[in-house]
Amino acid sequence: MDIKKLIQDYLDYLEIEKNRSIKTRRNYERYLNKFLAFSKASKPGDITADVVRNYRLWLNRQPVFAKALAGKIGSSSNIKKNTQNYHLIALRNFLKYLARRDIEALASDKIELGRQEDRQVSFLEAHELQRLLASPEGDSFKAKRDRAILETLFSTGLRVSELCNLDRDSINLKSGEFSVRGKGSKIRIVFLSDGAKTAIKNYFEKRGDVDSALFIRYKKNFGKDNNLRITTRSVERLIKYYAAKAGLSKKVTPHTLRHSFATDLLANGADLRSVQEMLGHSNITTTQIYTHVTNRQLREIHKTFHGRQRK
């Protein structure tokens, strides 16, 4: 059977049966096409353990060119392990699909993922967070909106795309909780703090439109087009602006607030499973990047009990 046709069938299966997003479909298509270009496979039987091993070596040695690296155009480094694993996951899931259709091919469990480096998590300390949340000052629409955005991100741990997709009628300020559709169309419940509820209420009082979006663009742009919903890029820019205004030296992004949300919960006694649920992680190993909280507790234990006989 023609492997290109099978890949298109698999991508249709992802989109229809598995209800994956168009973006996920495009990513899988890109990863699988890269494998085809390397392997020159024309049928499932061409995918062998040796071919996959050579592909992994090739991936591991591929340079990535980016302006950001060393601040120079043309600087390079190798593809990160987690990015390499995305390619392998796409191939492995394609092989699972073939097995489900009783098409003879390499067993998916023959493909092991590479060990990823431990991630460094950037989060805000309590005093830094307080300065950031207080940085939108004044009574203007923009100040009220931006304060509501910052408070909502920290209160809920939402991804920036999830925040931008929220509608006004999805928010219940009385109960302080609402559902959100995250990655893989999974729905979870998130909660608003008193500070977030107050900030959103104050922001609503400044709204003079009937747009369905919860967070909209600055009023000076009204009338230019019918889509008032704020973009992820706009949220990223405003957080960068307020971080600088608050005098924070570290890089602050929407995901920094998500990390800060999880860190705050764990530092105050929340269990990892509950934090996993609130973040919308499908696998608890993803949530385990927040073990820096436990490490901090270990440091206190070391300080308290180590070398006491020398005092």
Catalytic residues: 159, 183, 255, 258, 281, 290
What is the residue type of 179? S
In terms of phi and psi (left: phi > 0; alpha: psi -120 to 50; beta: otherwise), the region of 295 is alpha
Tokens for 278, please give them. 């609130």
Q: In this structure, what DSSP letter does residue 231 have?
A: P
200 neighbors 192 (Cβ within 8 angstroms): yes
C-alpha distance from residue 147 to each of 51, 252, 271 (Å): 53, 15, 29
Q: Where are the alpha helices (DSSP H) in 61-136?
A: 81-100, 126-134
Nearest-angstrom CA–CA distance, 80 and 75:
15
Number of residues that make up the chain: 311
What is the radius of gyration, based on Cα positions, of the chain? 24
* Burial environment of residue 227 by CB neighbours within 10 A (0 to 12, 13 to 18, 19 or more): exposed
* Burial environment of residue 189 by CB neighbours within 10 A (0 to 12, 13 to 18, 19 or more): exposed
201 neighbors 191 (Cβ within 8 angstroms): no
